[in-house]
Structure 1
Amino acid sequence: MPGGTLGKAATAVAAVVAVGGVLAATAPAAPASAALPDYTTAEAGNPIVAGWYADPDVAIYGNRFYVFPTASRPYAEQTYLDAFSSTDLVTWTRHPNVLTTANVSWARYAVWAPAPIARNGRYYLYFAANDIQSNSALGGIGVAVADRPEGPYTDAIGRPLIAQFVNGAQPIDQDVFIDDDGQAYIYYGGWGHANVAKLNPDMTSLGTFADGTTYQEITPSGYVEGSQMFKRNGRYYLMWSEGGWTGPNYSVAYAMADSPTGPFTRLDKVLAQDPAVARGAGHNSVLNIPGTDTWYIFYHRRPLSQTDGNARQVAYDRMNFNADGTIQRVTMLVKDNFADGNALGWQTYGGAWSVSGGQYRTTASYGGKSLLDDNHANATYDLDVTVTSGRGDAGLVFRASSVATGTDAYRGYYAGITPAGRVILGRADNNWTPLGSAPLPVATGQRYHLRVVANGSSIRVYVDDLTTPRISVTDTAFASGRSGVRVYNAAAAFDNVVVSNQ
């Protein structure tokens, strides 16, 4: 498209289609769904796929979106790469072992940060391996090739494409970008230094710049690792990760330039941890929906309850721009409409839970609950709840801690509705303290929208009518904690869970 309005996944990752029986690279096709994805976040919940994964990069091949992440495991076990694909950014199919060290003679372990791209009718996957610490070690950045997006990929040249430290940059964390004029670039670097090099049209060898050099250093202030390049409205955006990858300060920053080689001057942080949602958010990629100005940032993050450095998950959120082209800071939103058919990120305590028909369902139990790994304080909680059978109640747990299996085995608040004709609010602390109750006609099998607004000591509960609270109380027992759903002597279905900071 003219004007350079598409991002890496649209301009640099060309779709491959059959033309007269010959594979040829073309502009990417829009996904074959009724409507192009236009979400505020991963509406069906983050993480988007099961398992520990990190460093996601994205591509659009034909009518599918692809995510290629690192397997987030100890070094010696990082011997393979999986991929995931989707037509709608909601339901994902896993493609295991798209690349393994068995197909790369020089790679042993630490296979990191895959970067996918298509050209010349073939699919290329750039990767780092062996985590070399000096120029005397074998390893660096390699390139593999396949005839299908899901592989299998095999080593294209039998050796690393970039095997040495240049300008102080460890050869890891590569990203590949094809500009509007057809010139391909590879951006990479760890140890606080970033380089760019040209790729020749064969995509398996490096070219030179006008001055005869192969590498140019482009390190912006604060750079640590995780280069990512995209283009929008004729401007070049370099993104990178800052801080330590195992720590809470891991984050993403960016720069803008008029040239693919910079200079790149740091402008701002784009993505950082949110102590209410997740830690260690970083090592990102960017996806632009073809033909639109809709953008997403894909990244990894660590659940709040996890301390293992490799406990990382793939997520995405909406990325927005200001009128001058600068990027707004990304908010990690908490939503789950269960449209993906799973409940990733939820932890159950009693009861029997499942996802079907786009709803989170549980059979009747005395206090069965399922909670997210969050820690919200002042927040608005929204969800749809349907009591499907029983005369008990079903609803929302919030500001919860010390959660265990048992009727009131948690410390926190609960608001629910019951076909007995009430909306209730109470406090649990291994016992139950009622805080409020109001009459409310509730029919079994009918969906109701429940909202709780908790701000400091003020708690307001709404059902369907979101202007006038059914219950309004003041209580200071619990200031923050986890969010979730619960039943008591009732079976229920839950949907459209949203938790947002005030």
Structure 2
Amino acid sequence: MATVKATGLVARSCAALLAGGLIAMLSPSAAVAAPEYSTSEAGNPFVDGWYADPDTVVYDGRYWVFPTTSKSYSEQTYLDAFSSKDLVHWTKHSEVLRTADVAWAKYAVWAPAPIERNGKYYLYFAANDIQSDAETGGIGVAVADRPEGPYKDAVGAPLVSRFHNGAQPIDQDVFIDDDGQAYMYYGGWGHANVVKLNPDMTSLGTFADGATYKEITPADYVEGPQMFKRGGKYYLMWSEGGWTGPDYSVSYAISDSPTGPFEKLDRVLAQDPAVAKGSGHNSVVNVPGTDIWYIVYHRRPLSETDGNHRQLAYDRMYFNEDGTIRRIRMEVKDNFADGNALGWRTYGGSWAVAGGRYRADRSLGGKALLDTDFADFTYDADVRLGPGNGDAGLTFRVTRPSVGVDGYSGYYAGVGRDGKVVLGRADGSWTPLGTAYTRPGPAHRLRVTAVGPSIKVYVDDMRTPKISVTDGTYGSGAGGLRVFDTAASFDNVEVGPVR
């Protein structure tokens, strides 16, 4: 059986398991081990390509993400989807919905919202970015017999085609409550509405007062509403700021009713100048049968200036005892378990992921960097040395990277098979800052902590630094990996606050 995007109990023949604003209808054979991560442990972005506005659902024990294709409006004529059994390995399902299958939709297909009911799979979407009631477009609904589609227009016209209460008809999210009532939350231009969906999921109902559209706009709302339920409470999340700007962020409210009132409690996700910018337009997913929650959202790499260069990410979402949401920290990890190196950029050498490790052939100074800008941090990685006489390790506070032995400005800490540990800085040439020795061997755990000018290098023993120096030449920059006259492989990369 399939999962419906709801919370609470549903009168079905199989057990209903709470699943992130979703009810997971899973048979024992469909159950999988609960993925409990602090972030996307195999790296963010977790899928390849420019995507935005992700919505999530769980169908038959499989996690699905339906995003906007982040291109120019004229190129946004289809929707892809991604699915995973473990939130690590993702399968791409191309063009699950196309404008060719929706007569009235021409371009700007945005913010898909998936849900299942009565054996049918529904996908709500916005199209044409209408600017007035005189234009054709708005929110439509498509239907399919399988989660991966193909989805076909279910109505032949937009479900919501006009501005009501000032809300542009975009950015829809669909939620089914415990009593079976379905709701759709939507709205751009700083206004949010909620409507009831009839049991057919393709027409709108009315509220007790006869109204079809109810405005529920909380303070600072811009777009992208998302509804889920936990502990009997209704959580409304939304995006604030400009979608192309660094101020894009996510806030939330809690209510005792699916229709509010919703009063803003806090901004829980915002850009981190060390990790990414433009973080917003989120969804949530709850691992079925647990209280493990993730926020799934898009963000823009630090070095990207094109507004459409957005990527999909997820991080753990934690709750306080009173039900409020803790502020979310975008974590940086990569254990390469997904078999790729998304987010890494290489400068010299030959790099590839194999066997759950990031492998570099022997070269004189080949580098792989993450698009980050950390100043004070703790940086960890497992390093395994291959053939060669040199060393391999971590680059940090790097700027101006290029191909070449010392083609960067920043620091490097490495270790060799002979146990020699080195620390130095580069800026076209090499300046040694310290050396030490650890046990000889091919495999080492390497850590660097940097606080202002204080730099400490740990190898194998994480309690006592092998090298401790003071050097304030470089204050911040990207973190990465490097080999010098050796082959090497890397695993369990993690960069974060000093600990």
Normalised-by-shorter TM-score class:
over 0.9
Asked whether the 8 Å contact 2:456–2:465 carries over to 1, the reply is yes
Give the counterpart letter for 2:152 in structure 1: T
Decide which of 316, 319, 327 is 1:318's aligned counterpart.
316
User: Which residue of the partner structure matches residue 241 of structure 1?
Assistant: 239
Decide which of 285, 298, 301 is 2:299's aligned counterpart.
301
User: Which residue of the partner structure matches residue 456 of structure 2?
Assistant: 460
User: Which residue of the partner structure matches residue 492 of structure 2?
Assistant: 496
Alpha-carbon distance, 1:63 to partner: 2.1
Q: What are the superposed Cα offsets for residues 387-445 of structure 1, whole Å, 9 maximum, x if unpaired?
A: 0111110000000000000000000000000123301101011000000000223323x
Query: Partners in 2 of 1:345 and 1:336 — Cα distance?
Result: 10
RMSD: 1.9
Query: Partners in 2 of 1:108 and 1:403 — Cα distance?
Result: 42
Query: Partners in 2 of 1:500 and 1:424 — Cα distance?
Result: 22
1:203–1:111 CA distance, 2 compared to 1 (3 A)? same
1:350–1:171 CA distance, 2 compared to 1 (3 A)? same
User: Which residue of the partner structure matches residue 18 of structure 2?
Assistant: none
User: Which residue of the partner structure matches residue 111 of structure 1?
Assistant: 109
User: Which residue of the partner structure matches residue 388 of structure 1?
Assistant: 386
Range with bigger deviation, 25-34 or 433-442: 25-34
Alpha-carbon distance, 1:15 to partner: 13
TM-score by length of 1: 0.95
Q: Secondary structure at the match of 1:480?
A: coil
1:17–1:384 CA distance, 2 compared to 1 (3 A)? farther
Q: Secondary structure at the match of 1:102?
A: helix
> What runs of 5+ residues in structure 2 fail to find an aligned partner?
15-21
1:440–1:14 CA distance, 2 compared to 1 (3 A)? farther
1:15–1:458 CA distance, 2 compared to 1 (3 A)? farther
Decide which of 398, 417, 420 is 1:419's aligned counterpart.
417
Asked whether the 8 Å contact 1:14–1:117 carries over to 2, the reply is no
Q: What are the superposed Cα offsets for residues 21-56 of structure 1, whole Å, 9 maximum, x if unpaired?
A: xxxx98432895762110000000000000000000
Give the counterpart letter for 2:273 in structure 1: P
Decide which of 363, 371, 374 is 2:372's aligned counterpart.
374
User: Which residue of the partner structure matches residue 281 of structure 2?
Assistant: 283
Alpha-carbon distance, 1:9 to partner: 4.6
Decide which of 20, 42, 66 is 1:68's aligned counterpart.
66
User: Which residue of the partner structure matches residue 29 of structure 1?
Assistant: 26
Alpha-carbon distance, 1:16 to partner: 11
Decide which of 141, 144, 162 is 1:143's aligned counterpart.
141
Query: Partners in 1 of 2:104 and 2:11 — Cα distance?
Result: 30
Asked whether the 8 Å contact 1:8–1:231 carries over to 2, the reply is no
Query: Partners in 2 of 1:197 and 1:17 — Cα distance?
Result: 29
Query: Partners in 2 of 1:159 and 1:34 — Cα distance?
Result: 39
User: Which residue of the partner structure matches residue 21 of structure 1?
Assistant: none
Asked whether the 8 Å contact 2:136–2:161 carries over to 1, the reply is yes
1:46 aligns with 2:39: no
Counting aligned pairs with the same residue, the percent is 68
User: Which residue of the partner structure matches residue 195 of structure 1?
Assistant: 193
Query: Partners in 1 of 2:31 and 2:337 — Cα distance?
Result: 15
Alpha-carbon distance, 1:464 to partner: 1.1
1:450 aligns with 2:446: yes
Asked whether the 8 Å contact 1:193–1:219 carries over to 2, the reply is yes
Asked whether the 8 Å contact 1:9–1:286 carries over to 2, the reply is no
> Mapping of 1:175-194 within 5 angstroms?
175-194=173-192
Alpha-carbon distance, 1:307 to partner: 0.3
1:451–1:328 CA distance, 2 compared to 1 (3 A)? same
> What runs of 5+ residues in structure 1 fail to find an aligned partner?
1-6, 19-24
User: Which residue of the partner structure matches residue 252 of structure 2?
Assistant: 254
1:15–1:298 CA distance, 2 compared to 1 (3 A)? farther
Number of residue pairs the alignment of both structures matches: 489
Q: What are the superposed Cα offsets for residues 346-397 of structure 1, whole Å, 9 maximum, x if unpaired?
A: 0000111000110000100000010000000000000000001111100000
Q: Secondary structure at the match of 2:100?
A: helix
User: Which residue of the partner structure matches residue 22 of structure 1?
Assistant: none
User: Which residue of the partner structure matches residue 471 of structure 1?
Assistant: 467
Query: Partners in 1 of 2:120 and 2:402 — Cα distance?
Result: 52
